[in-house]
Copies of this chain bind each other. A is one copy, B any other.
Amino acid sequence: MLYLPANARYSMEGKYFDEAAVSILQDIILHRRDVRGNRFLSVPLEEAVIDQLLTAALHAPSVGFSQPWEFVLIRDEVVKQQVRNSFQEENSRAIPQFSEEKQPEYIRLKLEGIMEAPLNIAVFYKPSDKPVLGQTAMSEAGLYSVVCAVQNMWLMARALNIGIGWVSILDPEKVKQVLRAPSSNKLVAYLCVGYTDGFFTQPELEILQWEKRKMKEAVVFKEGY
């Protein structure tokens, strides 16, 4: 039963994926890692590769097809250093928030690769100036669309054997100043992107026993809580 509103140009297709596609996607998902500074190689990324990452981002789902994303590509050392200064400030503020037991471990962790990664990408949410279909009851849906774009890029990067690290220990307002971003834009993600010397077999914080992996049974409910 096709739903065909007047004056719509519709076309359906039967693009059908096989078991091999499922298996490859699962491998990409399971082998994706958050890559830190000490792993990045300084070799620059080819333009075609950056284009492939952006194409993945631009085909993310977005509420009301609003595509509310903007991407700033950063290679300039001076700009990177200014962003890194914000990381250092925020990271110093973070340390005392952890337990005395956790603090020495926290300090040992390398939590960003802003200078080491040949490319940084700041990802912004740009709010629409008119109402957005699907965003009237949950205004945060626009931000979530931008996160879907980040995750598409992250998986495409892994398929291309490129590492991405998401730096969230930053003052978003300082980063906006550095990049002269419009005041209504919101910084969603700051990504460090580059080839790496390898990928860990498990998340680094799992290997370091900072946190344990949660079991499916602990987080899946049926019909309600």
Residues of A within 8 A of B (CB): 1-3, 5, 8-17, 20-22, 24-32, 34, 36, 38-39, 51-52, 54-56, 58-61, 63-67, 69-76, 79, 90, 93-94, 97-99, 105-106, 108-111, 130-131, 133-138, 140-141, 143-144, 147-148, 150-152, 154-156, 158-161, 166, 168-172, 178-182, 188-189, 197-203, 205-208, 210-211, 213-214, 216, 219-225
Using Cβ atoms and an 8 Å threshold, which residues of chain B touch A10?
Answer: 200, 207
A198 (CB) vs chain B CBs: closest residue: B12
Using Cβ atoms and an 8 Å threshold, which residues of chain B touch A16?
Answer: 161
Contact indicator B11/A201 (Cβ below 8 Å): yes
Contact indicator B224/A178 (Cβ below 8 Å): yes
Contact indicator B12/A58 (Cβ below 8 Å): no
Q: List 7 A-B contacts (CB under 8 A).
A: A10-B207, A11-B201, A12-B200, A20-B24, A21-B159, A32-B61, A93-B137
- Residue of B90, B93, B137, B206 near A170 (CB, 8 A) is B137
Contact indicator B137/A169 (Cβ below 8 Å): yes
Contact indicator B108/A5 (Cβ below 8 Å): yes
